[in-house]
Amino acid sequence: MTNININLPSQVTELLNRLNAYSYKAYIAGRCVRELLSGQGGNENSVDYDIITNADIDRVHAIFEIYSLNIDNIENGEVIVNVAGVPVLIAPYKKAIKPDGKPIYTDVLEEDLRRRDFSFNAIAYNPREGFVDPFGGITALSGELGVVEVIADNSGDSEDPDAEPITAFERNPVSILQALGYYSSGEYLISERTKNLMNRHKECLSEISQTDLRTELSWVLRGKKVSAVLEEYSEVITVLFPEFETLKGFDLKRPEHSFDALTHTFKSVGYASPILLLRYALLFHALGIPDCFSEDEDGKGNFHGHAERSWLYARKIMRRWSFSDDQIREVGFLIKNQGIEVASDKRSLKLKLREMPPERLKMLLQFKYADLRAKSPEFEGAAMICKRQVDTLNEIVTAKECYTVQQLAVNRYDLMQKGMVKSDEQARVILEKLLDMVTDAPAFNTRMRLMNAAEKLLNNTRG
């Protein structure tokens, strides 16, 4: 219990009071309390509220039947009550959730809180009593960074007082990745005890569905501390991706690489913009190196063809993880084209835009930037060139500068109407010459100037 107060929307208070009026206990609990305490929800009106109560599910249904109700999940012990546009999930205390999703109810608040994953998600609150915090969740949130502390539950082994408590990692292995997600966000640290338990139970990850794995790992990969997560928890990550085993400690034997293949991979992910498919591409981009590795007579490492080989590994993994065909295609494009060279001047970028759309080129340049940054400090300058290329590319797109025939202020119908050309082939030749002019002089892309230029081109051809 604590004297800290938090503000609740009147709609939530109304629901708590209604349960109290029927002589039931009621609290907000879980993520909503954490967000209100840490300020991560923005304000009290942007938080998703959950209420837990010692009323059974049938009584909850009856008490709130005068409201707008969603009872689609009532068999699993949950109803959603909508009050003046605010949806609030209300559920009885639960001791556990069976594998089929059905709840095991309890009359004890602490048992409901104990089944949760981390201490900061096991805090209950109502305005009358204040906080109920049996596992130190408020303390875990009291520092500049929150602390991820897993809850150990020995309630199921009461007959054996010496039995080792069961943690959330064993009950629900998804919690291992969720802990990494909190750490990756940059808002939390993981306690040493929790870290040890994660590593001890990492093999439980094999029990998670591919859909859940993809969802939780994607959260990890979006985080600003993703590189630290991947490097510190490489043993956990390798359970998810056994293919990484060959990269551990693999010496690339090239002066531009300061790290082994696995560390280079993990650092490159951290240097990338938080675009999910970009980070997945970097996560997989070096998998083919060991298969393609050779040393020259000077002992220098070479791995020609590794991009295509890495793509084969990436495609296999992404299919295993049920990624969509479009996602696999985009990641494959980045991995297969990681060695592409693009000159940094605006004209060269426009010429490259004739081959691929702006977003693809931008992603490719961001990929190269991250890959270069992860090699050695000597490549800082080359990486910054990629960054400037992205800036130039953004300028081209924002200014709507012309880089394709379709963007010209004239088209083949204009040329045919004026009698300048008689066939699509003639029009194509003229339009491509006009495009070359506009590529160097964006202001030239007006109908009058291009029609005059087309006429001069035709006159020169006839002459």
Q: How far apart are CA 131 and CA 139, in angstroms?
A: 12
- pLDDT value at residue 443: 93
Q: Are residues 333 and 409 in the same domain?
A: no
Q: Are residues 86 and 109 in the same domain?
A: yes
Of 253 and 463, the structure prediction assigns the larger pLDDT to 253
DSSP secondary structure letters along 342-410: --SSHHHHHHHHTTS-HHHHHHHHHHHHHHHHTT-GGGHHHHHHHHHHHHHHHHHHHTT---SGGGSS-
- pLDDT value at residue 157: 44
Mean pLDDT of 334-360: 93
Mean pLDDT of 431-447: 94
pLDDT tops 70 at residue 98: yes
Q: Are residues 206 and 273 in the same domain?
A: no
pLDDT tops 70 at residue 266: yes
Q: Are residues 250 and 388 in the same domain?
A: yes
Give the count of domains, the chain: 4
Is position 170 within any domain?
yes
Mean pLDDT of 121-131: 95
Is position 2 within any domain?
no
Is position 161 within any domain?
no
- Residue 104's φ and ψ, nearest 5 degrees, are -110, 115
Is position 3 within any domain?
no
- What's the mean per-residue pLDDT of the chain? 92
Is position 380 within any domain?
yes
Q: Are residues 151 and 170 in the same domain?
A: yes
Of 445 and 101, the structure prediction assigns the larger pLDDT to 445
Is position 230 within any domain?
yes
- On whether the CB atoms of residues 334 and 370 are closer than 8 A, the answer is no
Mean pLDDT of 419-446: 92
- pLDDT value at residue 163: 61
Range of the structural domain that residue 223 is part of:
143-156+166-240
Q: Are residues 313 and 337 in the same domain?
A: yes
Q: Are residues 276 and 373 in the same domain?
A: yes
Specify the CATH number for the domain of residue 85. Answer: 3.30.460.10
Is position 193 within any domain?
yes
Q: pLDDT tens across 307-344, in order?
A: 999 999 999 999 999 999 999 999 999 999 999 888 88
Domain end: 379, 400, 421, which one? Answer: 400
Domain end: 240, 262, 284, which one? Answer: 240
Q: Are residues 305 and 204 in the same domain?
A: no
Q: Are residues 219 and 99 in the same domain?
A: no
Neighbour count for residue 103 (Cβ, 10 Å): 20
pTM: 0.88
Q: Are residues 249 and 373 in the same domain?
A: yes
pLDDT tops 80 at residue 160: no
Domain end: 400, 418, 443, which one? Answer: 400
